[in-house]
Each structure stands twice: as structure tokens, then as C-alpha cells.
Amino acid sequence: MKRCMNITVIICFGLGIFLNSCEPKDKIRIPFGYDSEFDYLAVLRSASAYAYEPTNDYPELTYQDHADEKLVELKNRYNLDSVAGTGDELTRILNLFNWVHDEINHDGGNSTPDPENSLSILDYCRETDKGVNCVYMAIVFNEACLSMGLKSRVIHGNAKKFIFNGEWHAFNAVYSSALDKWIFLDPMKRAYFMDENNNLLSVAEIRQFLIEGKQLLINPEADYNGVSFDKNEYLHYLTKNFYRFSCSVESKFDNYGIFHLTGVTRNYVHLDPGGEPQDGLGVATNCCTSNPDYFWASPE
């Protein structure tokens, strides 16, 4: 059954926005925030199967046309035609991805730029030489992709206990027509994953690979602020945040405002394991589903 609601009571603490959970206490005691020693894989493997409920009356996920005035401004100001290049689709996607990672450093404690759009974030980073959090990095990459006519989403990866368990992660899913899948791309780490045959993997595939213990290959050029990192530690971190997923119903320019609570209309859809609908994003209209075919459907 669809679960749509408005949540207006929030608790603000530091960077994040946290919601009280109305779920019963978990059999496995899950720590608040991220614990590098905790067995998140056991939690992920304990998740209920997806319910695949009918979604005929669910909101349509939409993607802004590249002719939008602000997307054109972004493309022209940063010469994104040249950045993307003239290669095939995957090459253009990865060129934009690398450009965003090189333009912006990560600082998980910084949610300063307002409004929360690519033009504002890029201006801030260039003027101050400061980094921003993962959500802002994903916003910039998302809007860069949209400006080039690529379908893209900012995905919030969340823990089991509730949507904001003290810490969450944002990354991107970019649709590849050539592969007919939503490719996982994380600007924070310049990271994506492949199977043993070097096929790029989607978010859904990575989640299933984690559950099944299959080998995941990371791209060799992945780095964090120019420094190499431990792949296994990163996968452990992602395992916590691959329990459930959220995204905005509309992927478009200047569509967030979650840190400054600006006057942006917030409509979110959440993909949860069967029988485990989450509370939803504060000050938003939230629809919960347990149908991955709907959440990860190919865009028209």
C-alpha cells in the first residue's frame, strides 16, 4: 500500500535533519550515526524482500529539460559541452563526473551555500576554496548532467533505523541508454563499481552484490580529496546506507533547500524493504514504496 504523508516536526542538530522514528526497537541494536566497527552487512542481509506492490497511482519521476534557462546558464558558464566532449554517452557522463570531483572538495560538515543549486555551490567553492558536503556535490553533478540532456537523480542512501540516522550519504544515479540502467556514481569519492567483467553497476546491483557477497571492483582512479582510500572501509560505509533509498520526485535545477529550509516544494519518494516504510523527509510530501521496478524504472 502506498504511504504518502506530510511530516512537519523535525529536530535540527549540526549538519543533519533528524526524524524521530516510530518503528519498533530493532532486534539488532543499531548505533546512532556511523560506527566503523558495526556489522551493517548483517543488517542489510536481514532486510525484508521487496513487496512489489502496484504503483499505478504513484507520482511520475520527472527530469528537467536541458533547455531550462538556468541549466543553459550552467552549461554555458562552465563550458560543459567542452567538458563532456564528443565521445560516446558513457565517456561524456564520466567526463562530467570527473570535472565535478575535481572542481569541488568534500567537507561533510559544510552546508553553507544557499540557495542549494549548482551555480551557487560552484561560486561558493571557487570564491572560498572550501569544500561542501556530499549532498551539494551530488546536486552539482545532477544539474550538470541535466544541462547536457542526461537523465540523472540525487539519491539519498539511508540506514535501516530511520531516514536520518544521524548520518546518511548522497550520491548520483545517472541513466545510461547504452546500458539501460541507472549507473551508481559518487562524486565524493570519484567512485563507481564494476563486476568481474568490468561492467558498470547500478545502485540496485551493488546492493544485491553486497547481500550476496559478490566481488565488487572499484575504478582505480577513485580518490577522496585527491588521496587514495581503503575500498573495504568505503564499502562498509555504503552498506549502512544501502538499506533504503530516497530521491526527489522531480529532478531539476534548484530543487533542494533541505539544509536551509527554503521555499522549495519538496516531494520525495522512498524505496523501502517490504513492510518497513520509513518516516520520510521533514517538511515534505513523502511517498513510500517497496517496488524497485517503479523506483528504478527507465526514464521515458
Question: What's the structural domain count of the chain?
Answer: 1
pLDDT digit string, tens, across residues 182-202: 999 999 999 999 999 999 999
pLDDT exceeds cutoff 80 at 13: no
**Assigned domain for 84 exists:** yes
Q: What is the largest CA-CA distance in the chain?
A: 53
Please give the mean pLDDT across all residues of the chain. 89
**Assigned domain for 102 exists:** yes
More confident residue, 17 or 173: 173
**pTM here?**
0.90
**Assigned domain for 175 exists:** yes
What is the span of the domain harbouring residue 241? 3-295
At residue 134 the predicted structure's pLDDT band, cuts being 50, 70 and 90, is very high
pLDDT digit string, tens, across residues 255-284: 887 887 776 778 899 999 999 988 776 677
**Assigned domain for 300 exists:** no
**Assigned domain for 251 exists:** yes
More confident residue, 83 or 279: 83
**Assigned domain for 7 exists:** yes
More confident residue, 160 or 28: 160
